[in-house]
Structure 1
């Protein structure tokens, strides 16, 4: 290459950099600020002996062949053998299905598998790739190559190395790539630097904004190998399930409203904000007891020390404690279906238990069935956020008197921790909060209902515990876990991250939990005496809760107003879908429009959003994911249209159920 050609290439590189900086200034100002006056320290762009733009690092060129040729080869490999994740659902046995929501999702599964054989053909044969994660940018030529050969709707680019991304800014123009995505209704996102957790969180944000139906199938294009990129793939495999956890669904929210109204009518008080009362017990040793297998090794300690510590039992840990003559000071429940009463009644009829439920205080989420709460000594409610019933309490709470803690689900351990911290306790010990198990045959305390000979759901529980998922252990290298346990552990960590004044010791032989200190139960020493414990706990719960504002006559009027707004919203929402679809791309456009309307509704009318968002997310994602199983495009179109007809009928049916049964006892 002569001097003139070299100067021309250098000018083009500089012009591309300036163009990209202007683009970043307009749409990604944070990244723009980083690279406006950036000086690379280890890696830079240079012209190699073959006249190719190349990366130069530690005295040598990174690419041993033309980066353009390498990009074409990588795209060929990707299209021929793509790496991707696809969304699917683990369906319950027909006998265990209680909701129309579950039944319809399973019917989609049955039809899909019957018509396709239950396998996805090579998804890169699709005309358009809807979500591609480029892990490692290099010089960016592979991105341009793929976009030239396939329509790509959403692009997520992660480059861990700042020097390398600065080199990319000299080589490919980002604005045309972004414009092409946006013109199709998609988005173009860049993350530079950070670790695997940032990548997982940034993808989560993208899914929220663009619609969770994009989870249906995500492609991963790895440009080069590095420790960071390997950790990202590991984190996606380990934590990716959190992208689609806890959506809820319409029928569930109806139960939440029904139970909330029943609980308010039963005059159960609601926990107030922590700064509105004084907890004279806040320095006490509080043991939050969950039903993990390691609870069994703590039974003797709890029995010996129960007079001088406060014990908060969570869900099915109750029987394990009572059968060992350990009386919790506060019991906690969170499951909303009336079927939970079967677990509670099983405790009452267990031989050998002498402590009565009527002797025990209970704190439960507002969604818990009142027939359960009435069996206990004194019942108190904790408001669940992101819940239609919880939103009802918040709407009545004109004085902002009540507590609205985040991270109170997905399991009762999360609720128990939220209760303990909202009551103002500052020193907590986690017992049986394993969030996993060492052996799949020993997944809960053997003193609990799960190991009763007459437990009816033994096979279902055992099946749910089948897993290959592992996480770092609290006292051992690793333990087995499940998606739900891992999501629950994550919620514990997020709650404790926001409660730095709360000191938490983890005595459980389970998963390692951030923001807790591992401490074996045998090493715990209780030195303080706790006198008049029952009276003090009862006084605390009384002072920490209230019924003020919660019995106003406008409750029914408010629900009627919600019903009217919901009806109008659903009518407009469903009009966004045409009478029939021919292509999957048309379906994606309709789902995208509905998602934008959902996001708008979340800002304007949260309770309407809460009622329908989960149902729409589940069906959007599952219908889209299932469409990939069809290589015959005519059959695909028939399947999509049949699914949507069933979905619209389902939504209409559940809306009628809401209008007629929101204030009636729950059906499940």
Structure 2
């Protein structure tokens, strides 16, 4: 390359940089602010001996061949054998299915299995790729080549190095790539630097904004190896399942509404904001006790010190404590189905217990069955934030006095920690919150119902443990865990990250929980006496809860509005899919529009948000599963027929569940 050509190349590189900066200023101002006056430290774009535009790092060129040729080969290899994440649903056995949504999802699976070989050969063979994560930008030529070979709807570009991304800004024009995505209703997102968790969160954000049906196949184009990219891939393998966790179904929310109304009718008061509560016990430590295997080694400590520590029991840990004559100060429940009553009543059937349920205070999520709460000494409600019943309370709360903590599920340990923080406690010990186990045979406390000879749910528990995987341990190098335990751990960490003023010690020999300090229970000493503990707990719960604004008239008036708005929203949403689809791409485009319409409810007024939480989970699950199942069909005509049959069945399902809602919202739940 002569001097004139070299100068011309440099001018083109500069022009590309300026064009990209202009785009970033308009579309991604936060990234623009980083790179508008950027000076690279050790990596930059340069012209190599073969006159190729190359990446220069630590006194040598990164690409050992023409970077464009390398990119073309890489894309060809990616399209032939992509790395991808697939959405999966674990179906129940037929005799265990109670809900209509579970039956319909299983029927979709059965049809797919009967009509195909039940395998996805290569999702990159699709006419359009709906979601591609590019891990490592390099000079960006692989992204251009991907767009030359395929239509792409959503892209996330993750470049760990700021220097390398700055080099990329000189080499490819981003605007045509942005425009292609947005023209199809998708988006082109960029993340530079940060952590592997930042990538996970960015993917979650894209799925939320553009529809979780895009989780059906998320493809990963890895451009180069780096420690952070490898950690990102491993993190996705480890916790990618959280992207599809806890959406709930319309039928679940009907139960939640029914139980919420029954609890309010029973005059169970709702927990107020922490700033409205003066907790005179806040300086005393709270021991949150769950039913993990390590509870067994903590029993003697709890028994010896119970008069001078505050004990909050979680779910099935209650019987383990009572069997050892340990009385919790507050019990926590969070499961919504009435079937939980059987577990609670097993305590009354346990011989030799001297402490009765009617001597114990309970705080439960608003969704818990009222006949459970009525068995306790005093009952109080914690509003579940991402829940139709919790949002109903919020819609009634015009004075904004109640509290709505994030991360109160998916397990009762999450509810308990959220409750302790909302009550104002700042010194917390986790006991038996293992969220994992060293041995698959010792998965809960030996004192609990799980090890009773006549426990009839043994097979269900054992099946949940079959898919256990390994995570970092609290005191040991690693322990087994399950998807639900891992999701619980993730939400505990998110809650603690928001409340760094709360000091939390983890005494459990289970999964390591970030933002906690590992501490063996035998090393806890210097326990100060608590005078009049029971009276002070009762006073705290009385001050911390209220029924103001929750009169029967206010509730029924609000429900009339909710029923009407739900009908209107479903008519609008189902109208989008009341058409015939010729391809998977057409379905994805309509699902995208449907998702945007759902999000307008989420961003609406308090009543709209109740409607959103009533129906959003069913739309997300069925969109994702119908889309996932469509990939199993290589015969495009059969695929279209399958898609239309699934969508029609879903539309009828939602109409039927709406009728169930308006007929049964204020009646006892069916399960």
The TM-score, its normalising length taken from structure 2, stands at: 0.98
Match in the other structure for 1:349: 349
For the residue of structure 1 that corresponds to 2:553, the secondary structure is coil
In 1, Cα distance between equivalents of 2:255 and 2:29: 45
Match in the other structure for 1:624: 627
Cα offset, 1:302, TM superposition: 0.7
Match in the other structure for 1:89: 89
Match in the other structure for 1:179: 179
Match in the other structure for 2:205: 205
Match in the other structure for 1:610: 613
In 2, Cα distance between equivalents of 1:476 and 1:564: 55
Cα offset, 1:526, TM superposition: 4.3
Cα offset, 1:469, TM superposition: 2.2
Which shows bigger deviation, 217-226 or 434-443?
434-443
In 2, Cα distance between equivalents of 1:37 and 1:285: 51
**Which runs of structure 2 are paired with 1:299-314 in the superposition (5 Å)?**
299-314=299-314
Match in the other structure for 1:25: 25
Match in the other structure for 2:35: 35
In 2, Cα distance between equivalents of 1:548 and 1:62: 67
In 2, Cα distance between equivalents of 1:22 and 1:308: 64
Match in the other structure for 1:435: 435
* 2:669 is equivalent to residue 653 of structure 1: no
In 2, Cα distance between equivalents of 1:269 and 1:599: 31
Gaps of 5+ in 2: none
For the residue of structure 2 that corresponds to 1:363, the secondary structure is strand
In 2, Cα distance between equivalents of 1:289 and 1:573: 44
**Which runs of structure 2 are paired with 1:312-331 in the superposition (5 Å)?**
312-331=312-331
Match in the other structure for 1:407: 407
For the residue of structure 2 that corresponds to 1:419, the secondary structure is helix
* 2:419 is equivalent to residue 416 of structure 1: no
For the residue of structure 1 that corresponds to 2:466, the secondary structure is coil
Which shows bigger deviation, 644-653 or 59-68?
59-68
Cα offset, 1:500, TM superposition: 2.6
* 2:644 is equivalent to residue 641 of structure 1: yes
For the residue of structure 2 that corresponds to 1:666, the secondary structure is coil
In 1, Cα distance between equivalents of 2:458 and 2:114: 29
Match in the other structure for 2:58: 58
In 2, Cα distance between equivalents of 1:179 and 1:395: 40
Contact 2:479/2:511, CA 8 A, preserved across alignment = yes
**Which runs of structure 2 are paired with 1:437-452 in the superposition (5 Å)?**
437-452=437-452
In 2, Cα distance between equivalents of 1:557 and 1:547: 17
Match in the other structure for 1:231: 231
In 2, Cα distance between equivalents of 1:33 and 1:416: 42
Contact 1:366/1:389, CA 8 A, preserved across alignment = yes
For the residue of structure 2 that corresponds to 1:554, the secondary structure is helix
Cα offset, 1:133, TM superposition: 0.6
**Which runs of structure 2 are paired with 1:226-625 in the superposition (5 Å)?**
226-604=226-604, 605-625=608-628
Contact 2:577/2:647, CA 8 A, preserved across alignment = no
In 2, Cα distance between equivalents of 1:506 and 1:540: 25
Match in the other structure for 2:193: 193
Match in the other structure for 1:71: 71
In 2, Cα distance between equivalents of 1:282 and 1:53: 63
In 2, Cα distance between equivalents of 1:20 and 1:505: 48
In 2, Cα distance between equivalents of 1:510 and 1:593: 43
**Which runs of structure 2 are paired with 1:100-249 in the superposition (5 Å)?**
100-249=100-249
Cα offset, 1:644, TM superposition: 0.5
Residue by residue over 1:550-597, the C-alpha shift from the partner in whole angstroms, topping out at 9 and shown as x without a partner, is 114132121111111111111111111252111000000010000000
Residue by residue over 1:79-128, the C-alpha shift from the partner in whole angstroms, topping out at 9 and shown as x without a partner, is 11111111011112222222111111111111112211221121111111
In 2, Cα distance between equivalents of 1:149 and 1:198: 29
In 2, Cα distance between equivalents of 1:487 and 1:43: 38
In 1, Cα distance between equivalents of 2:152 and 2:71: 17
For the residue of structure 2 that corresponds to 1:170, the secondary structure is helix
Contact 1:435/1:511, CA 8 A, preserved across alignment = yes
For the residue of structure 1 that corresponds to 2:282, the secondary structure is coil
Cα offset, 1:354, TM superposition: 2.1
For the residue of structure 2 that corresponds to 1:428, the secondary structure is strand
In 1, Cα distance between equivalents of 2:390 and 2:342: 24
In 2, Cα distance between equivalents of 1:473 and 1:535: 39
Residue by residue over 1:572-623, the C-alpha shift from the partner in whole angstroms, topping out at 9 and shown as x without a partner, is 1111125211100000001000000011111111011111100000000000
Contact 1:333/1:368, CA 8 A, preserved across alignment = yes
For the residue of structure 1 that corresponds to 2:253, the secondary structure is helix
Gaps of 5+ in 1: none
Contact 1:305/1:526, CA 8 A, preserved across alignment = no
In 2, Cα distance between equivalents of 1:527 and 1:38: 55
In 2, Cα distance between equivalents of 1:493 and 1:81: 35
For the residue of structure 2 that corresponds to 1:537, the secondary structure is helix
Which shows bigger deviation, 551-560 or 81-90?
551-560
Cα offset, 1:52, TM superposition: 0.9
Contact 1:75/1:146, CA 8 A, preserved across alignment = yes
Runs of 4+ in 1 over 3 A off after TM superposition: none
Which shows bigger deviation, 609-618 or 453-462?
453-462
In 1, Cα distance between equivalents of 2:200 and 2:64: 32
In 2, Cα distance between equivalents of 1:280 and 1:138: 58
For the residue of structure 1 that corresponds to 2:649, the secondary structure is helix
